[in-house]
Structure 1
Amino acid sequence: MSEWTAFTDDDAARWISVPAPDDDKYSRGVLGAITGSTSYPGAAVLSVQAAHRTGVGMVRYLGPRHPSELVLARRPEVVTADGRVQAWVIGSGIDEQALKPKRRARIIRALESGDPAVIDAGVLGLFAEHRLTAGGGGRTKSILTPHFSELVALLGRTGIDTDVDAVKQAPADWAVRAAEASGSVVLLKGNTTYIADPDGARLTVSGAPSWLATAGSGDVLGGVLGALVATHRDAIDADAGALAPLAATGALLHARAAELASAGGPIAALDVADALGSAIKSWLNSASH
């Protein structure tokens, strides 16, 4: 098994795309977001806000009326019409059991599109089930972002039984098992984040302030990851191995933004999303010296 490597700020700075003079909103990446729900509308706002603050060119938000209204109130530049995207973020703030047929079908279409995707929360199980039902095997272009209990449920859908206590005892090992079972990069969230690639890359990210353990922080992370994947679509198409360092970059950026927002005190998820631009700026400034 490959050894685990701590991912650094210098590593992450290499994966930040700075727009060139001739770039436009399309060449900078278009992210499709299927996040939030009537029950959890804030997840839509948090994921979309984070994606914009990470530097994506455009976000297409596809969701129910109420979260769509909240997203547009916060970010009027968001497009709520369907269309071409470079990547997806799917699942934050979605309860699989409450999915209506039309939205479930929309998610399945996104999963079948061949576009890279960040899969979070309530769609993790649906992703695993659809992959098995469709006879999927081999490598995907997806990043899965479970916490411990979600990893247990995800593995259960692939026929692997475990429990939260077992995952807590050996999170690195279970992240690898999930990556191999799903054919996807798995980002297992925790005090130390483990990023496992099914083809061998093993990366860790640590150092986030404990104040980051707050409602909605995972929704922010999903938006960050979605933006990074959308802006690096060409690199992913050329080599799916790009997904692991992109996932690690997203986790480290999330942590650095939390540090800036916190300054040693309590924070809320939207504070983290709003600090992402400053965190990126600090990396770019360091890289230029």
Structure 2
Amino acid sequence: MRTAYRVQDVRAAEAALMARLPEGALMRRAAAGLAAACAGLLGRVYGARVVLLVGSGDNGGDALYAGARLARRGAGVSAVALGGRVHEAGLAALLAAGGRVAADPHAALARADLVLDGITGIGGRGGLRPEAVPVVRAARESGAVVVAVDLPSGVDADTGAVEGEAVRADATVTFGAYKPGLLVDPARAYAGAVRLVDIGLGGLLPAAAELEALQHADVARLLPVPGAESDKYRRGVVGVVAGSARYPGAAVLAVAGALRGGAGAVRYVGPAGGAVLARYPETLVHPGPPGGAGRVQAWVIGPGLGDTPGVDDVLASDAPVLVDADGLRLLDPAAVRARPAPTLLTPHAGEAAALLGTARDEVEARRLEAVRELAGRYGATVLLKGSTTLVADPSPGVPVRVNPTGTPWLATAGSGDVLSGLTGSLLAAGLAPRDAASAGAYLHGLAARRAAARGAHGAGPAPAAGAAPLTAHEVAEALPGAWRDVQGGGGRG
């Protein structure tokens, strides 16, 4: 599991470690890891041209010490000061190793093979200062590999927000712990490939992180596995209230996801029973209302529902409920909070904006804040779909989970319906809402990778360069393969 921590927690851990070490030792330790990562990206250090964009903080010092190490290995290293003053000891180390201060930043950048961004650190807010913007643009236009020190300058480490100009890195070398902004969009898109350098903070960070990103082994431990005494009812029954005369396909896709989610049986309730049975005859179909359909261990309601009734009936049940799409439109926070059983909401950014009474752009700019606010307001677990899928528990002290799988090809009609059915089935199989949402999003993203790369029946995920458009039904068909990948430990997510 990858974990990310807030700036204040990272700084507290660093302070505790520095108290045990000689002065400057922690910075030199970070710089050694940074230099090694840069050497790996360059391939050949001797003769390479490296430009350091240096601010006034510790990130600038990290860049200067790393530059000194590269200079001692034969690289031509130039420093560009962008913060008024620079780290004096780091600059002295660079000059002693044969580096220099660039007289003309643009001339140095035009010849650079690698640019190190050490302008601002993890405490930076509000985008780059105006004087840094043309230099950063020149670095990007130079064609050099841009490496961010700890975090791309101009992005918010704690929230992932990007307010103004920021460095777009090809890679980020971060120290001690991941920061939320490296895992959450929009900032994540600025970080490139992220490498974590261990500087010895283990045991000094809080027990509870701000963010968690599950990996194969974590998800494998969550997935339900039937035992020798299992039958379809012991494995759980999920009820799906979805579809309408106008959108019967939503019912079919939600049922497709539910059938592959680990529950023993799927009850469909609604007007699209004929379409569902034509595709999936194993489904238990009932015309409605949901209260008369029979016992279920969890409900899914909302995909393609239109104005079809049933939301109040389902919310009145004593089973866990997943609410998606049309089911979200008329939710009353007080009614959700008063439910005796857990509720899981699965909005995309537009639906989340409507629930919060704000603009979609605001949600997308501050996804981490939005998902936490929604979870607190409704007293429900919230899965916020999008370029970064986040899962928040209603308890504020519980880490938010960020899903590391997926592909932009998932932005296709009906894919959310499949996710709802899959996640609801995991709820019915006995998973807690946070675990069901996390595992569902993980499998859904992994299945989409498989479908986009090789088709629904391929052997596993492949590089994105080989990907192609997919349909929601292909995602559903790829779920068994994704499930097997996770249980077998193939790949890391």
Instruction: Answer yes or no: is the 8 Å Cα contact 1:138–1:183 preserved in 2.
Output: no
Q: CA deviation at 1:139?
A: 8.0
Cα 1:38–1:251 change in 2 (3 A) is same
Is the partner of 1:253 in helix, strand or coil?
helix
After superposition, give the CA deviation of every residue in 1:156-186 in whole Å (9 maximum; x if it has no partner): xxxxx31111111101101000000000011
Pairing of 1:8-23 with structure 2 (within 5 A): 8-23=215-230
Query: Per chain length, whose mean CA-contact separation is higher, i.e. which structure has more relative contact order (CA < 8 Å, sep 6+)?
Result: 1
Q: CA deviation at 1:6?
A: 1.4
Is the partner of 1:190 in helix, strand or coil?
coil
Q: CA deviation at 1:85?
A: 0.3
Pairing of 1:47-126 with structure 2 (within 5 A): 47-64=254-271, 67-81=272-286, 82-95=293-306, 98-99=307-308, 104=309, 106-126=310-330
Distance 1:62 1:138 in 2: 21
Residue 151 of structure 1 aligns with which residue? 352
Tell me the number of residue pairs that the alignment of Structure 1 and Structure 2 aligns: 262
Instruction: Answer yes or no: is the 8 Å Cα contact 1:191–1:206 preserved in 2.
Output: no
Aligned match for 2:410, one of 212, 215, 239: 212
Query: Which segment drifts farther, 112-121 or 137-146?
Result: 137-146
Instruction: Give the letter for the 2:294 counterpart.
Output: G
Q: CA deviation at 1:222?
A: 0.3
Instruction: Answer yes or no: is the 8 Å Cα contact 1:145–1:186 preserved in 2.
Output: yes
Instruction: Answer yes or no: is the 8 Å Cα contact 1:31–1:59 preserved in 2.
Output: yes
Distance 1:276 1:283 in 2: 11
| Structure 1 residues not aligned, in runs of 5+ | 156-160, 236-241
Residue 483 of structure 2 aligns with which residue? 280
Distance 2:486 2:376 in 1: 32
Instruction: Answer yes or no: is the 8 Å Cα contact 1:116–1:142 preserved in 2.
Output: yes
Aligned match for 2:368, one of 153, 169, 172: 172
Is the partner of 2:247 in helix, strand or coil?
coil
Aligned match for 1:32, one of 239, 252, 264: 239
**Highest Rg: 1 or 2?**
2
TM-score normalised by L of structure 1: 0.86
Instruction: Answer yes or no: is the 8 Å Cα contact 1:32–1:61 preserved in 2.
Output: yes
Q: CA deviation at 1:266?
A: 1.3
Cα 1:169–1:140 change in 2 (3 A) is farther
Q: Does 1:246 align with 2:457?
A: no
After superposition, give the CA deviation of every residue in 1:26-78 in whole Å (9 maximum; x if it has no partner): 011100000111111101000101111222211110001xx210100011111
Runs of 4+ in structure 1 over 3 Å off: 134-140
Residue 248 of structure 2 aligns with which residue? 41
Instruction: Answer yes or no: is the 8 Å Cα contact 2:423–2:437 preserved in 1.
Output: yes
Distance 1:29 1:62 in 2: 17
Instruction: Answer yes or no: is the 8 Å Cα contact 2:336–2:378 preserved in 1.
Output: no
Instruction: Answer yes or no: is the 8 Å Cα contact 1:91–1:123 preserved in 2.
Output: yes
Distance 1:151 1:273 in 2: 25
Distance 2:371 2:260 in 1: 28
Q: CA deviation at 1:245?
A: 2.1
Residue 194 of structure 1 aligns with which residue? 390
Distance 1:169 1:228 in 2: 30
Distance 1:184 1:46 in 2: 24
Q: CA deviation at 1:206?
A: 2.8
Distance 2:365 2:215 in 1: 25
Is the partner of 2:351 in helix, strand or coil?
helix
Instruction: Answer yes or no: is the 8 Å Cα contact 1:260–1:279 preserved in 2.
Output: yes
Distance 1:139 1:210 in 2: 37
Decide which structure has greater helix share. 1
